[in-house]
Amino acid sequence: MTLDELRNRLRDFADARDWEQYHTPKNLAMALSGEVGELIALFQWLTPEESAAALDDPKLAAEIHDELADVTLYLVRLADMLGVDLLAAANAKIDRNEHRFPAR
Amino acid sequence: MTLDELRNRLRDFADARDWEQYHTPKNLAMALSGEVGELIALFQWLTPEESAAALDDPKLAAEIHDELADVTLYLVRLADMLGVDLLAAANAKIDRNEHRFPAR
Amino acid sequence: MTLDELRNRLRDFADARDWEQYHTPKNLAMALSGEVGELIALFQWLTPEESAAALDDPKLAAEIHDELADVTLYLVRLADMLGVDLLAAANAKIDRNEHRFPAR
Amino acid sequence: MTLDELRNRLRDFADARDWEQYHTPKNLAMALSGEVGELIALFQWLTPEESAAALDDPKLAAEIHDELADVTLYLVRLADMLGVDLLAAANAKIDRNEHRFPAR
C-alpha cells in the first residue's frame, strides 16, 4: 500500500458514511491533536530508555500501533481535505532543514 | 518520493548530525505533539468554513504546508525508531473501523 | 478552596503514593498534553455553536468537567514541581498582552 | 490575586477588545492545545533530570513562565465560557482519584 492508496481508501470510507460534512480542516486538526494526545500518554511515565523498548511489551506495542495508526489516518485525511501533498511538503521541508542545520 | 524513501532520508539526516541519541520515542512523541500544537494554532480562530478555504491565503497556505511537513517528519521518524510500519498499521486500523462503523 | 490549597493537596497526594519520582517537568508536560488531547476530543465534531451549549448535555458535561479537572491538576502540579507561581505568571502575561493588543 | 480575580480580568480583557465572539469553547480548546504544544516543545530534547533544572537557565525559565501563563489564561477562559468552576472540578477529581489509587 502507498500513501496515495491510503488517502483514497480514507476518501471512500468517509464517503460511504456521509462523513465528509464533518471533515473540515478545523475539525480534523482537532481530531489529529486528540489522537496525538492518546499517543503521548503511552510514553508519559516511561524513561527515554524504556520508551525505546516499548515494543517489547505486547500490550503496549498494540496500543502504540493503534495510536500511530489513528494519527496517520487523521493526518492523511487532513492533508487530503486541504489538497496538500504530504510527501512533497515533507521533502521540501528537509531541503530547507539541510540549510538551517548543516551536517558536520 | 515514497514514504519509505522519506523515512530513509530522515535516517540519513539524523545520522549526519549525530542526532539519533536524541531521537528516543519519548522525545519524538513530544516533538510530534509540539508540531501538532503549531498546526492547530493556525486554525483556532477560523470558522470551520474558513478553515476549508485556508489554502486560498498564500501566507497561511505556506504556514500550513510547513506545519503539516513538520508533523509528517516527526511521525515518520517516530515510527521508524519504534520499528512500526505506518502504512500497514493505518490500513489494519481502517479494517477494524469498517467493523466498528458499518457503512450505510 | 484556593489554588494554593489545591497545589498542597496534590503534593500530599503524590507524597502518600511515592509518585514524586515520576513527576519530572518533562513527564508532567506530557501528562498535561495527553489530558488536553482528551479535552479537545470532546469538541472536535461539534460546531462552535454546539460547543457553546455543551454543558446542556449531562453526559458531555460530566466528561468536560472531568477533563478540565485533569488538565488543571497536571498544570498545577507541573508549576509546583518547577517552582512557578501560576497566578503571578498569568497576571504578568496579561500586563504584556495589554501592551501588545491595546483596547479600542 | 485569586483565580476568580484572574477570570474576571480575562473577561474584562476580552470584553474591551470585542473578542468574546471568538471565544467559543471549541476555539478556546484549540488555543489551549496550541499553547500546551509550545510548552511541551521546551522540554522535548531535555532528559527528565535536565527538565527538573530547567529554571536554572534564565532564557528557558522566561519561556517556561510565558508558556505556563498562556496555558493558564486559556484554561481559565475556557472554563469561564463553559461556566465550570475549575477548583471545584479539580477538587472533586482528587476525591475520585483517592478511591481509584489508595495510598499505601
Å from B75 to nearest chain C CA? 16
pLDDT band at C39 (very low <50, low <70, confident <90, very high): very high
CATH number at residue C34: 1.10.287.1080
Which chain B residue has the Cα nearest residue A12? B103
**Domain containing residue D27:** 3-100
Q: Who's near D80: CB < 8 A, 6+ residues apart?
A: D7, D10, D11
Q: pLDDT tens track of chain A, all 104 residues? A: 899 999 999 999 999 999 999 999 999 999 999 999 999 999 999 999 999 999 999 999 999 999 999 999 999 999 999 999 999 999 999 999 999 999 87
Q: Are B20 and B73 in contact (CB under 8 A)?
A: no
Contact: B44, D35; criterion CB under 8 Å: no
Q: Which pLDDT belongs to residue C104? A: 75
User: CA C75, C77, C81 angle in degrees (round to 5)?
Assistant: 120
Predicted confidence (pLDDT) at residue B104 exceeds the cutoff of 80: no
Q: Who's near B47: CB < 8 A, 6+ residues apart?
A: A26, C48
Task: Give the tens place of pLDDT for each residue, C11-37.
Answer: 999 999 999 999 999 999 999 999 999
The Cα-based distances of D77 to B1, B8, B56, C37, D24 in angstroms read 44, 44, 31, 18, 10
Return the C-alpha cell found at B28.
519524538
Residues in A touching B40 (Cβ below 8 Å): 29-30, 32-33
Tell me, what DSSP letter sits at residue D23?
A: -
Q: Which pLDDT belongs to residue B57? A: 98
Residues in C touching B47 (Cβ below 8 Å): 48
**ipTM of this complex prediction, to 2 decimal places:** 0.97
What gap in Å lies between CA C12 and CA C20, rounded to an integer?
A: 10
Q: Which pLDDT belongs to residue D104? A: 75
Residues in B touching A97 (Cβ below 8 Å): 13
What would you report as the CA-atom Rg of chain A, rounded to the nearest whole angstrom?
17
User: CA A103, A104, B6 angle in degrees (round to 5)?
Assistant: 25
Q: Does B44 touch chain C (CB under 8 A)?
A: no
Return the C-alpha cell found at C36.
488536553
Å from C62 to nearest chain B CA? 24
Q: pLDDT tens track of chain D, all 104 residues? A: 899 999 999 999 999 999 999 999 999 999 999 999 999 999 999 999 999 999 999 999 999 999 999 999 999 999 999 999 999 999 999 999 999 999 87
Chain A partners (3+ C-beta pairs within 8 A): B, C, D
Number of domains in chain D: 1
Q: Does A36 touch chain D (CB under 8 A)?
A: no
Which chain D residue has the Cα nearest residue B43? D30
Helices (H) and strands (E) in chain B, counts: 5, 0
